[in-house]
DNA sequence: TAGATTTAGTAAAACCCTTTAGCTAATTTA
DNA sequence: TAAATTAGCTAAAGGGTTTTACTAAATCTA
């Protein structure tokens, strides 16, 4: 079953391939009767221009790629990404763009990048120094970094440190000293990569609050956790089994916090009486769970929108050859939202 | 800033373009020293094969398209799709496939399809009769239908009717007679399309339970709702303002149910004392909210996986020219899960 | 040493479309 | 009436890769 192409249609309609192309893309070049005839023939034969050939010649696919730090199945377990992707796609819908996600395949993004016919990337959770990112820069492909340090490209970040500081400060001010910290596991990095921007900044924020009041910072009270409810559960249990008996908990992601709450309740603790908890992100789940999760709010949806706006801006810049990267470092604000997991 | 291509690398390395291609794809055809030299030059120049050209010649992109019934930003607000997409992507991860989503652009999928360089589609929420779907069939592009009636292509569905029947039966058996039904809005269709499979089947299930016991079915107690929490809220409010005073609620999606619960509580009702509620889907939210949502369980994650498995199967069939469509109609079971929103 | 085989590489075709430049016939302008 | 313009269409180039068929040189066989 051979896929029919433009030449087949042209032959059947008794015109040249050029005419068929015109019938779809520049009908004003052709007699309107001819246009109709060609279109009829095309529909009849079930013809549709080959998207790859089209993208190849146009040097443009209308697809944007979102580079994610984890397998998609993991990412989709995290409510943070739901909202973030919603932000991006609200903009996609407006701009008639398609969206494609790419995640590490067997640990590497190279393969995924190599086969992605996209007009640009939104890169989440990677620093500019990252091998794959510098590859893109070298190749001259447009990208925007989200949740990662950038100097050579536009980026969108939030004030991670301040948000974390506020959360930690709140608990410390209420007298807590035995505070368990469930940090993003990226903060602990793999041997070959630098510490990760977001996690580093949140860690610094927590730490600053500790130092300011003179509370002892104990590394063994900081556990790396996957950003998911399961991760939160497991790590809270792990902490407990290591003999830690926290009276408060700082989680670097809402999903982690919610998992931890479940684990705590299962061990007979009462939240917030026995354990006060502050999450991070203010994802939709935070206001859905009972009790409502106190957390650090960040404008997730907007972050996605802004990222795509910046990317679109890059295309226009490339066209006009203007480039002022320094102006493209967007920092969005964070603030504390108190609900039921704090008293 | 011109994007460098295979010819540039070939020239710099002093070989033919063919040699460069071989260096990447069939290194055994070349002297290993030459391979190294070419690869070095390629890295140095930041060369990467153009994905569109590659996909064009290979007639294969390694990308699968998920056709969604609503704008992506809407879809991502529905926890059902989170899990469904997770199922698909878990399989993608295993098979080293990339995933691309497509939603109607300004109301039409045509444009989105036309520019999608995918190896096949997973089509969610459309029937085979749908115009875009028949276009794909005519064009000879592989696809699998999910949540839609199919005869010419593989499909994955759940036993919608039975699940709905069980839910309605449960409430009726407990004596409820004033049951508000918040149905998927697709059940009411646009003028030009047939009633939609899933919604129809769920409607039939509810109805069967009513009829069986002889409870009067009142059309004005059935409201179409968007599958989101907002939709549930708005429609519960709308029902209330129309003077309806239900003692029980059947929602055709968990998101709708949860939205309705919030609206009910805001009006001072107690769940489940004043209002018993059964949702549909058993999405992750169902067990997170307080009180836990009673709902009809369906294996969402598995549905996604099976859909992609079938699609992959189609590719293999196309290669071996075997086709037995009837064997590819998968029906997954549903059952009732009782939590806190029923007594 | 003539002939057969292997090695290392190349030229050219194929994938399918869009676009530019150009051609012919018909119409308008001066 | 000759020259200029327009309408309607086509030929050919270009986009970047992979693959098939082929060549030239080197190695092996008898």
The CATH number covering residue B262 comes to 3.40.50.2300
Closest CB to A72 among B96, B99, B114: B99
Q: Which of B51, B52, B57 to mutate to test the interface with A (most CBs of A within 10 A)?
A: B52
Same domain, B191 and B154: no
Which residue in B50, B100, B142, B265 has the most chain A C-beta atoms within 10 A of its own C-beta, making it the best mutation to test that interface? B100
**B340 is a domain residue:** no
Q: Does B57 reside within a domain?
A: no
Q: Which nucleotide minimizes the distance between its C1' and the CA of A58? A: C18
Could you report the per-residue pLDDT of A208-241, keeping only the tens digit for each? 999 999 999 999 999 999 999 999 999 999 999 9
What is the residue-averaged pLDDT of chain A? 92
Which of B196, B315, B310 lies closest to B252, judged by CA? B196
Does residue B135 share a domain with residue B248?
Answer: no
A244 and A317 inside one domain: no
CB contact under 8 A, A93 and B85: no
Distance in angstroms between the alpha carbons of the first and the last residue of chain A: 68
In a domain, A1, yes or no: no
The per-residue pLDDT for A197 is 82
B15 shares a domain with B105: no
- Full strand arrangement of the beta sheet holding A143-146: A329-332, A155-158, A143-146, A120-124, A63-67, A98-102, B98-102, B63-67, B120-124, B143-146, B155-158, B329-332
**Residue B25: CB less than 7 A from any atom in strand D:** yes
Q: Which nucleotides of D are covered by protein (CB under 7 A)?
A: 7-12, 14-20
d(CA B69, CA B60): 25
Clarify whether residues B232 and B327 are in a common domain.
no
Taking only the tens place, the pLDDT of each residue in A105-141 is: 777 888 889 889 999 999 999 988 888 899 899 888 9
pLDDT digits (tens, 9 = 90+) for B83-103: 999 999 999 989 989 999 999
Assigned domain for A71 exists: yes
Residue B250 and residue B5: Cα distance in Å, rounded?
59
| CA atoms of B312 and B304, how far apart (whole Å) | 13
Q: Which of A51, A52, A100 sits opposite B98 (nearest CB)?
A: A100
The stretches in chain B having pLDDT less than 70 are 1, 187-196, 321-323, 325-327
Q: Residue B171: helix, strand or coil by DSSP?
A: helix
Mean pLDDT value of segment A7-29: 95
Tally of domains in chain A: 3
Chain B residues whose beta carbon lies within 8 Å of the beta carbon of residue A318:
1
- Domain range for B16: 6-49
Task: Answer yes or no: do A131 and A194 share one domain.
Answer: no
Question: What per-residue string of b and e applies to A214-239 under the rule 16 or more CB within 10 Å gives b?
Answer: ebeeeeebbbbbbbbbebbbbbbbeb
Residues A195 and A287 in one domain: yes
Same domain for B212 and B108?
A: no
Average pLDDT over residues A145-163: 94
Task: Check: CB of residue A222 under 8 Å from CB of residue A181.
Answer: yes
B46 CB and strand D closer than 7 A:
no
Tell me the chain B residues in contact with residue A304 when contact means C-beta distances shorter than 8 Å. Answer: none
Q: What is the mean pLDDT of residues A187-194?
A: 53
- Distance from the A102 Cα atom to the nearest Cα atom in chain B, whole angstroms: 6
In a domain, A335, yes or no: no
Q: Are residues A148 and A171 in the same domain?
A: no
Q: What CATH number is attached to the domain comprising B12?
A: 1.10.260.40
Burial of B318 (0-12, 13-18, 19+ CB in 10 A): middle
Same domain, B190 and B236: yes
CA distance B78 to A228: 18
| Cβ neighbours of A340 (radius 10 Å) | 15
Q: Is residue A333 part of a domain?
A: no
Which pLDDT belongs to residue B191?
44
pLDDT at A190: 52
- Output the CA–CA distances (angstroms, integers) from residue A85 to A62, A89, A93, B85, in the order listed: 17, 6, 12, 13
CA dist., res. B84 & res. B92, Å (int): 13
Q: Are residues A172 and A291 in the same domain?
A: yes
Nucleotide nearest to A13 (CA to C1'): D9
Asked, for residue A323, whether it belongs to a domain, the answer is: yes
Give the closest of A73, A85, A100 to B100, CB-based: A100
Chain C positions under 7 Å from a protein CB? Answer: 7-12, 14-20
Domain match, B97 and B200 both: no
Q: Is B54 domain-assigned?
A: no
What is the pLDDT averaged over residues A32-40? 95
Of A61, A98, A103, which is closest to B93 when you measure between CB atoms?
A: A103
């Amino acid at each position: 079953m051979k896929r029919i192409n433009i030449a087949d249609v042209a032959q059947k309609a008794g015109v040249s391939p050029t005419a068929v192309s015109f019938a779809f893309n520049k009908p004003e070049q052709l007699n309107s009767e001819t246009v109709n005839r060609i279109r009829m023939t095309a529909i009849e034969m079930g013809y549709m221009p080959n998207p790859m050939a089209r993208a190849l010649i146009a040097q443009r696919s209308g697809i944007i790629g979102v580079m994610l730090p984890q397998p998609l199945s993991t990412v989709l377990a995290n409510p943070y990404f739901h909202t973030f992707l919603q932000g991006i796609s609200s903009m996609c819908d407006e701009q008639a763009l398609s969206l494609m996600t790419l995640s590490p395949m067997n640990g590497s993004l190279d393969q995924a990048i190599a086969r992605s016919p996209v007009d640009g990337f939104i890169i989440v959770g990677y620093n500019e120094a990252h091998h794959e990112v510098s590859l893109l820069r070298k190749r001259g492909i447009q990208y925007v970094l989200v949740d990662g340090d950038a100097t050579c490209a536009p980026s969108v970040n939030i004030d991670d440190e301040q948000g974390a500081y506020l959360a930690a400060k709140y608990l410390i001010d209420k007298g807590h000293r035995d505070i368990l910290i469930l940090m993003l596991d990226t903060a602990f990095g793999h041997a070959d990569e630098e510490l990760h921007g977001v996690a580093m900044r949140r860690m610094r924020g927590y730490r600053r609050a500790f130092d300011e009041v003179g509370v002892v910072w104990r590394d063994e009270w900081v556990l790396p956790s996957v950003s998911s409810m399961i991760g939160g559960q497991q790590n809270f249990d792990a902490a407990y089994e290591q003999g830690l008996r926290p009276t408060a908990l700082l989680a670097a992601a809402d999903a982690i916090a919610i998992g931890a709450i479940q684990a705590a309740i299962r061990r007979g603790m009462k939240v917030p009486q026995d354990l006060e908890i502050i999450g991070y992100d203010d994802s939709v789940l935070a206001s859905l769970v009972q009790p409502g999760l106190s957390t650090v709010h960040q404008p997730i949806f907007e972050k996605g929108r802004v990222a795509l706006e910046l990317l679109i801006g890059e295309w226009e810049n490339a066209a006009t050859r203007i480039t002022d990267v320094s102006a493209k470092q967007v920092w969005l604000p964070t603030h504390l939202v108190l609900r039921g997991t704090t008293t």
